[in-house]
């Protein structure tokens, strides 16, 4: 009887959760280093560090007056092509009605003119779309709503598409994620949903979260596994430590 109780006790102890020590760094939930794929001089900067921006907001603009002019000319080409197409269509439709009594070669000329006009309008629209794409490349836009956390450019600076240097860093200010480092020996015992009790540097307050992602590779230098834990109301760049309850 005693032996049976000892075995049951050992099994119960084996089933208890273990607390594993882990350290972490706080990262923004989303973070992007923003670059431009165009070359030119900075004409306008619309934001600074700490500014909140909405997705699609223009943050910076290069000198693009020449492209603005080319856009106007491209639009004029479309207007002219549309006018020519309307005229060619009317002529074609008029001669189509009397096709049986007009010279075949003359009718073919009107058909050809009508088809050519459609192609010219299509080309003009494609040219405008191309010019718009070039113009948009001179304007840096926010890919998501967030806060500007760094600015590496000044008015009048040159931007090179070859270097692709970051001009701003954009982060999400409300949501963060803890990049938690755990000893590699626990890699088989880590599971999504396991609780993590932690505190950040400079604060004794205990916070809790749950593992939302487990990275599939081992850091061969630190001999560790990385897991993510969602967080809020923290500053990116903070660090801390805590305990993960593993099975």
Q: What is the pLDDT of residues 208-237, one digit of tens each?
A: 999 999 999 999 999 999 999 999 989 999
State the Cα–Cα distance between residues 195 and 198, nearest whole angstrom: 10
- Taking 50 as the threshold, does the pLDDT of residue 204 lie above it? yes
Cα dihedral 59→60→64→68 (10° resolution)? 10
Rama region for 36: left / alpha / beta (φ>0; ψ in -120 to 50; rest)? beta
State the Cα–Cα distance between residues 38 and 43, nearest whole angstrom: 13
- Taking 80 as the threshold, does the pLDDT of residue 104 lie above it? no
SS3 at position 26: strand
State the Cα–Cα distance between residues 186 and 116, nearest whole angstrom: 71
Q: What is the pLDDT of residues 50-87, one digit of tens each?
A: 999 999 999 999 999 999 999 999 999 999 999 999 99
Distances (CA, A) of 40 to 6, 34, 47, 166, 190: 78, 16, 19, 15, 50
- Taking 90 as the threshold, does the pLDDT of residue 6 lie above it? no
User: At 101, is the pLDDT very low, low, confident or very high (cuts 50, 70, 90)?
Assistant: low
Q: How many residues does the chain have?
A: 247
State the Cα–Cα distance between residues 234 and 200, nearest whole angstrom: 9
Query: Looking only at Cα atoms, what is the longest distance across the chain?
Result: 116
Q: What is the number of other CB atoms lying within 10 angstroms of the CB of residue 243?
A: 14
Q: What is the pLDDT of residues 151-198, one digit of tens each?
A: 999 999 999 988 889 999 999 988 999 999 999 999 999 999 999 999
Contacts 24+ apart (CB under 8 A), 217-221: 218/184, 218/187, 219/181, 219/184
Cβ neighbours for 207, distance < 8 A, ≥ 6 positions apart: 197, 198, 199, 200, 231
> What domains are there in the chain, each with its CATH number?
16-29+174-246 (2.40.30.170), 31-62+138-171 (2.40.50.100), 65-136 (1.10.287)
């Amino acid at each position: 009887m005693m032996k049976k109780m000892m075995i049951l006790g050992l099994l119960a102890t084996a089933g208890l959760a273990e607390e594993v020590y882990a350290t972490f760094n706080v990262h923004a939930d989303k973070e992007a280093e923003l670059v431009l794929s165009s070359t030119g001089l900075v004409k306008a900067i619309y934001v600074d560090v700490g500014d909140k921006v909405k997705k699609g907001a223009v943050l910076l603009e290069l000198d693009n007056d020449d492209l603005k002019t080319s856009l106007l000319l491209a639009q004029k080409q479309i207007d002219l092509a549309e006018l020519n197409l309307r005229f060619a269509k009317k002529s074609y439709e008029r001669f189509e009605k009397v096709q049986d009594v007009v010279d075949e070669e003359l009718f073919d000329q009107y058909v050809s003119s009508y088809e050519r006009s459609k192609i010219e309008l299509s080309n003009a629209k494609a040219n405008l779309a191309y010019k718009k794409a070039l113009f948009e490349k001179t304007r840096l836009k926010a890919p998501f709503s967030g806060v500007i956390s760094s600015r590496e450019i000044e008015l009048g600076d040159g931007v090179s598409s070859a270097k692709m240097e970051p001009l701003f860093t954009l982060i999400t200010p409300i949501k963060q994620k803890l990049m938690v480092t755990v000893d590699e020996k626990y890699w088989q015992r880590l599971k999504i949903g396991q609780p993590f009790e932690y505190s950040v540097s400079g604060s004794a307050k205990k916070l809790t979260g749950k593992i939302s992602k487990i990275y599939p590779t081992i850091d061969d230098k630190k001999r560790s596994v990385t897991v993510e834990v969602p967080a809020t109301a923290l500053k990116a760049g903070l660090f801390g430590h805590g305990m993960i309850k593993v099975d």
